C-alpha cells in the first residue's frame, strides 16, 4: 500500500485464497445425519417397494440408475475380461478372471504393473468403469474403461500420459470413488472420512441408486400404507415421502439436481427443504467451467444449463421429458418437443433441413451435444436458439458449426439471416459475454442483466461474479443490491464478490444475512466476516455470527479428503491467523496433489507470517519448478525477496512475471514502485499506466500514478489523474490531500 508521498514501498506478501465451492462431498464429526439407518424414518431398501409399485420397479430395473454400481460377477462384467490386453498412452493392461474373481493388471502408483481385483462395476452405458479397493477404505476408479456401445477397451483421457504419482492417475485423489463419485451412485451414502488417519469407513443403505435415493427413506411411508388410518381413508399429504408423483417443478428438479449438476455438497447434515442451497453450492456458468455465453464447456451436467432456459421459466420439469424410473424419453424424436410447441416447428420451413434426418431434430439445433468421458454424448439443456453471429463476434460455439465444422461462423450467420431475417431476438448472452471480460465495460453489461426481469437468476449470479475484481463504487452498489435478491444463488455470489471491498462499505448491509433462511448464504456471510475484529461485529449479531461461523467450519472441514478441500481448510485457518493448523492442511493438500501450487503459494504465506522466510522461499522455488510460467509465483517471490531486502531478486522476479504477460495489475504497480525508488520516474509511470489499463477503477493505482506525475513535474497530467482519482470518491484522507494540493 502507498503509505505517503515519499515512502512508497512494496506491499506485503499476499494470501491467494480460493472462494467458492468444490466438487466434493465429505463429512465432519460435528454434524448429525438425520437419515442414517436406525433413525425414526429409516431406509428400507428397494425390495419393500416392488409389491405396490410393480410397474415403476420393473422400469427401474432397466435403468442406468439400477446399474449405477454393481458387484463384479458373471452377470455384470463384460466379455473383455477374457485375457484381453489393451495398450494406450504408454500403458499396457491385461484383463482376466482368476478363481471366479475379475482382475486388471495395470500400472500402479509406484509406476510398476500389478494385479488389481475389481470389486464393483461402475456405470453401465455408454461406458462401464471399475472399482478397486485400496487400504484405509479407499476405492479407486481405473483409467481403463469398457466402451459398451462398441465393445472395446479405451482410455477416457485419450492421448494423455499421466505419471503414476500424478493427482489424475487412477490411483490418485482425483479418481477416488469415496470423494468424487460415491454419493450419486448409492443410496443414503455415508462417506465417513477421518482426516487424522486419511481413511474412510464408507457405508450405504442400498448399494446402487434405488427408490429411496429420490423418494426419501420409506419406513414411515410403509407403516402409514399398512395402517388402519390409511385403510380407513385418512389421507396424509405426500404419504411421508419427499418426492411424490405430482410434485411441483422445484421439488422435482431439486430432487434430480444434486446428481445432475456440478456442485459442492455443504454438509453431512442434510436439511430437508425446498431450497437446493441449503445442502449444495451449484457452480455458475462462468468462464471457469463454461463458455462465456453460458454454454457447457467442461463436464458441467444439466442443471445449471436448464436454469438458463425458457423451458425452466415456463414451469417445465424433468418428468415432462424423461420417465423418472426407466430414464427413457417419454416420446421419441421431435414429438417430445411437440408436446408443447406447434407442429410448424417440425416443418422444413422452420428447420431448413430435410425431414426425418438427424439435422432436422430439435435437439440438433437447440441442444447441441458434447462427448465427455471419452464416449458419452450429452446434450446442453439450455435449449437456446443458435447464435452464429455471436460466434463471429466473440468466438463462442454454435450448433450450426457443430455439424458444419468445415464452414466459418460467418457462413452460418449469413444462413440464419437469410432464413429468419436480419434481426435476432435479444438473448442474455449478448451482455453476459462482454461482462465476462472483467474490464471497464463490465459494469454496464452487469447492470443491464440485473435490471432485466427476464434474466435468469443463475445468469444474474454469474454477472455478479464478474464484478469480483472491479472495486468501484458502482460495482459496490450493484453487489449490495444483489444481497436483497429473492434468489439464494444471487445473494451468495454477491457476498463472494464483496471480498475485495473494504468491510466498512458492506458490513451494515451484510449483517442481516448471518440469519438468512438459506445455509449457503449464511456460510458465505460468515466467510466474508471471518477476518473482522470481534469488536467490529455489533453485539446484536454476535450470536448469529457464531452460529453461521460454526456452519462455515463444518462446511470447510467436510471437504478435507479432497486436495482442494484441504486447501480451503488451510485458507480458513490462515484467515484466522492459526498458522499451525493452516500449515497442516496445506501440507495435506500437497500430499494429495503435488502439483497444487495454490497450496504452495499459501503455505509460503504461512511461513512468511510465522517469521520463517527461508522456508517460504523454498516453497516458492519448488512451486516454480512445478510451473515455471506461473506469473503469481514470480510475483510472490518478488514480494518475499523485497521483504528479505534482496531488491535485485525482487526486481528480476517482477520482470519475469511481466515477460510472460501477467494480467495482475499489482505486478506492474510494484515494479513501478521499485523504479520510482531508483529514481526512474518516467519508466515507473509507464508501468503504472499498464497497471491502470488492467484495473481502471483501482484508487490506489490512480493515486500512485498521480503522485508519480507530481514527482516527474508533469503537473498537467497529474491534474488529469487527480480528477479521475476524485471521481472514484474513495474518501481517503491521503488521496484528498493530494487532490487539494493540485487545486482540484
pLDDT in tens, 617-629: 999 999 999 999 9
Q: Which of 744, 677, 687 lies closest to 711, judged by CA? A: 677
Q: How far is 378 from 302, CA to CA, in rounded Å?
A: 9
Lowest-confidence pick of 20-34, 277-291, 369-383, 608-622: 20-34
For the segment 468-476, the average pLDDT, to the nearest whole number, is 92
Confidence (pLDDT) at 12: 35
Q: What is the CA radius of gyration of the chain?
A: 28
Confidence (pLDDT) at 4: 33
- 34 — pLDDT class (breaks 50, 70, 90): very low
pLDDT in tens, 344-358: 999 999 999 999 999
Confidence (pLDDT) at 40: 84
Confidence (pLDDT) at 16: 35
Confidence (pLDDT) at 20: 34
- 15 — pLDDT class (breaks 50, 70, 90): very low
For the segment 614-643, the average pLDDT, to the nearest whole number, is 96
pLDDT in tens, 39-63: 489 999 999 999 999 999 999 999 9
Does residue 519 contact residue 551 with C-beta atoms inside 8 Å? yes
Confidence (pLDDT) at 158: 86
Q: How far apart are the first and last CA of the chain?
A: 23
- 21 — pLDDT class (breaks 50, 70, 90): very low
- 233 — pLDDT class (breaks 50, 70, 90): confident
Whose cell is 462499505? That residue is 505
DSSP secondary structure string, 511-574? GGGGG-SSHHHHHHHHHHHTTS-GGGS-GGGHHHHHHHHHHHHHHHHTTTTSHHHHHHHHHHHH
Confidence (pLDDT) at 695: 87
Does residue 602 contact residue 571 with C-beta atoms inside 8 Å? yes
Q: How many other CB atoms are found less than 10 A from the CB of residue 721?
A: 27
Q: How far is 694 from 135, CA to CA, in rounded Å?
A: 50
Confidence (pLDDT) at 234: 87
Element (H, E) at 705: helix 699-711
pLDDT in tens, 302-322: 999 999 999 999 999 999 999
- Is the preceding peptide bond at 640 cis, omega within 30 degrees of 0? no
Q: How far is 202 from 26, CA to CA, in rounded Å?
A: 11
111 CB burial (10 A radius; 0-12, 13-18, 19+): exposed
Is the pLDDT score of 24 beyond 70? no
Is the pLDDT score of 656 beyond 70? yes
For the segment 533-545, the average pLDDT, to the nearest whole number, is 96
Q: Which residues contact 450 (CB under 8 A, 6 or more apart)?
A: 460, 463, 464, 478, 481, 482
pLDDT in tens, 219-230: 999 999 999 988
How high does pLDDT run on average in the chain?
92
Confidence (pLDDT) at 471: 87
Does residue 44 contact residue 212 with C-beta atoms inside 8 Å? yes
Confidence (pLDDT) at 73: 96
Q: What percent of the chain has pLDDT over 90?
A: 88
Question: Hey, is 193 helix, strand or coil?
Answer: strand
Is the pLDDT score of 22 beyond 50? no
Is the pLDDT score of 147 beyond 60? yes
Q: Which residues contact 429 (CB under 8 A, 6 or more apart)?
A: 292, 293, 294, 384, 387, 390, 396
Structural domain spans, the chain: 55-189+197-225
The neighbouring-strand residues paired with 281 are 264
pLDDT in tens, 112-134: 999 999 999 999 999 999 999 99
Is the pLDDT score of 162 beyond 60? yes
Q: How far is 188 from 213, CA to CA, in rounded Å?
A: 7
Lowest-confidence pick of 9-23, 276-290, 400-414, 649-663: 9-23
Is the pLDDT score of 406 beyond 80? yes
Element (H, E) at 1: none
Question: Which string of b and e fits 38-60 if b means at least 16 CB within 10 Å?
Answer: eeebbbbebeebeeeeeebbebb
Q: How many other CB atoms are found less than 10 A from the CB of residue 29?
A: 12
Q: Which of 322, 323, 320, 284 lies closest to 305, judged by CA? A: 284
Confidence (pLDDT) at 58: 96
Confidence (pLDDT) at 231: 87
Q: What percent of the chain has pLDDT over 70?
A: 95
pTM given for the model:
0.88
CA 641 to chain centre: 34
Confidence (pLDDT) at 744: 85
Is the pLDDT score of 14 beyond 90? no
Q: Which residues contact 632 (CB under 8 A, 6 or more apart)?
A: 16, 601, 657, 664
**CA atoms lying within 13 Å on the CB side of residue 118:** 33
Is the pLDDT score of 28 beyond 70? no
Is the pLDDT score of 176 beyond 80? yes
pLDDT in tens, 78-104: 989 999 999 999 999 999 999 999 999
Is the pLDDT score of 212 beyond 90? yes
For the segment 531-546, the average pLDDT, to the nearest whole number, is 96
Is the pLDDT score of 613 beyond 80? yes
Amino acid at each position: 500500500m502507498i503509505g505517503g508521498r515519499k515512502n512508497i514501498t512494496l506491499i506485503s506478501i499476499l494470501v491467494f485464497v480460493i472462494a467458492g465451492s468444490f466438487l466434493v462431498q465429505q463429512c465432519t464429526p460435528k454434524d448429525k445425519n438425520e437419515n442414517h439407518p436406525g433413525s425414526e424414518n429409516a431406509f428400507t431398501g428397494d425390495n419393500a417397494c416392488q409389491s405396490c409399485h410393480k410397474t415403476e420397479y420393473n422400469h427401474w430395473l432397466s435403468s442406468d440408475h439400477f446399474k449405477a454400481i454393481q458387484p463384479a460377477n458373471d452377470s455384470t462384467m463384460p466379455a473383455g475380461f477374457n485375457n484381453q490386453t489393451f495398450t494406450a498412452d504408454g500403458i499396457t493392461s491385461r484383463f482376466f478372471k482368476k478363481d471366479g474373481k475379475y482382475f486388471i493388471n495395470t500400472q500402479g502408483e509406484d509406476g510398476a504393473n500389478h494385479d488389481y481385483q475389481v470389486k464393483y462395476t461402475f456405470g453401465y452405458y455408454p461406458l462401464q468403469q471399475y472399482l478397486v479397493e485400496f487400504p484405509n477404505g479407499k476405492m479407486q476408479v481405473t483409467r481403463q474403461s469398457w466402451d459398451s456401445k462398441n465393445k472395446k477397451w479405451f482410455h477416457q483421457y485419450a492421448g494423455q500420459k499421466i505419471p503414476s504419482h500424478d493427482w489424475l492417475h487412477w490411483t490418485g485423489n482425483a479418481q477416488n470413488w469415496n470423494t468424487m463419485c460415491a454419493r450419486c451412485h448409492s443410496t443414503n451414502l455415508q462417506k465417513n472420512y477421518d482426516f487424522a488417519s486419511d481413511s474412510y469407513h464408507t457405508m450405504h443403505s442400498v448399494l446402487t441408486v434405488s427408490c429411496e435415493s429420490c423418494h426419501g427413506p420409506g419406513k414411515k411411508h410403509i407403516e402409514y400404507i399398512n395402517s388402519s388410518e390409511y385403510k380407513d381413508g385418512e389421507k396424509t399429504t405426500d404419504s411421508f415421502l419427499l418426492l411424490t408423483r405430482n410434485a411441483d417443478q422445484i421439488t422435482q428438479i431439486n430432487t434430480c439436481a444434486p446428481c445432475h449438476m456440478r456442485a459442492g455438497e455443504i454438509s453431512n447434515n442434510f436439511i430437508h427443504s425446498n431450497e437446493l442451497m441449503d445442502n449444495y453450492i451449484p457452480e455458475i456458468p462462468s468462464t471457469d467451467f463454461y463458455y462465456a455465453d453460458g454454454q457447457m464447456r467442461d463436464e458441467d451436467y444439466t442443471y445449471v444449463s436448464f436454469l438458463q432456459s425458457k423451458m425452466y421459466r415456463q414451469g417445465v420439469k424433468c418428468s415432462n421429458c424423461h420417465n423418472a424410473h426407466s430414464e427413457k424419453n417419454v416420446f421419441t424424436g421431435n414429438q417430445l418437443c411437440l408436446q408443447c410447441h406447434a407442429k410448424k416447428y417440425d416443418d422444413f420451413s422452420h428447420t431448413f433441413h430435410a425431414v426425418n434426418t438427424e439435422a432436422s431434430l430439435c435437439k440438433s439445433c437447440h441442444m447441441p451435444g458434447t462427448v465427455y468421458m471419452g464416449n458419452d454424448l450429452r446434450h446442453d439443456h439450455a435449449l437456446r436458439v443458435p447464435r452464429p453471429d455471436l460466434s463471429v463476434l466473440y468466438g463462442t460455439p454454435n450448433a450450426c458449426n457443430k455439424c458444419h465444422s468445415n464452414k466459418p461462423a460467418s457462413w452460418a450467420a449469413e444462413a440464419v439471416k437469410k432464413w429468419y431475417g436480419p434481426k435476432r431476438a435479444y438473448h442474455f448472452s449478448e451482455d453476459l459475454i462482454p461482462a465476462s471480460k472483467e474490464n471497464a465495460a463490465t459494469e454496464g453489461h452487469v447492470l443491464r442483466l440485473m435490471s432485466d426481469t427476464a434474466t435468469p437468476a443463475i445468469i444474474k449470479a454469474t454477472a455478479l461474479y464478474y464484478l469480483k475484481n472491479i472495486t468501484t463504487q458502482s460495482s459496490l452498489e450493484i453487489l449490495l443490491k444483489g444481497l436483497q435478491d429473492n434468489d439464494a444463488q444471487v445473494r451468495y455470489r454477491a457476498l463472494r464478490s464483496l471480498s475485495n471491498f473494504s468491510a466498512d462499505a458492506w458490513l451494515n448491509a451484510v449483517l442481516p444475512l448471518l440469519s438468512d433462511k438459506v445455509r449457503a448464504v449464511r456460510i458465505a456471510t460468515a466467510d466474508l466476516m471471518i477476518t473482522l475484529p470481534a469488536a467490529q461485529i455489533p453485539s446484536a449479531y454476535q450470536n448469529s455470527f457464531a452460529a453461521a461461523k460454526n456452519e462455515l467450519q463444518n462446511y470447510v472441514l467436510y471437504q478435507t479428503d479432497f486436495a482442494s478441500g484441504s486447501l480451503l481448510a488451510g485458507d480458513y485457518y490462515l484467515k484466522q491467523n492459526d498458522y499451525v493448523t493452516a500449515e497442516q492442511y496445506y501440507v495435506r493438500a500437497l500430499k494429495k496433489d503435488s502439483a497444487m501450487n495454490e497450496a504452495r503459494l499459501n503455505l509460503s504465506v504461512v511461513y512468511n507470517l510465522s517469521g520463517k522466510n527461508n522456508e517460504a522461499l523454498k516453497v516458492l522455488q519448488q512451486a516454480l519448478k512445478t510451473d515455471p510460467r506461473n506469473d503469481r509465483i514470480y510475483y510472490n517471490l518478488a514480494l518475499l525477496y523485497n521483504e528479505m531486502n534482496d531488491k535485485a531478486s525482487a526486481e528480476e522476479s517482477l520482470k519475469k512475471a511481466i515477460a510472460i504477460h501477467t494480467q495482475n495489475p499489482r505486478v506492474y504497480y510494484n515494479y513501478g514502485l521499485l523504479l520510482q525508488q531508483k529514481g526512474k520516474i518516467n519508466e515507473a509511470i509507464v508501468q503504472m499506466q499498464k497497471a491502470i489499463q488492467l484495473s481502471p477503477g483501482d484508487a490506489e493505482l490512480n493515486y500512485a500514478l498521480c503522485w508519480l506525475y507530481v514527482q516527474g513535474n508533469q503537473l498537467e497530467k497529474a491534474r488529469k489523474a487527480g480528477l479521475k482519482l476524485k471521481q472514484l470518491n474513495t474518501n481517503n484522507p491521503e488521496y484528498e490531500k493530494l487532490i487539494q494540493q493540485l487545486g482540484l
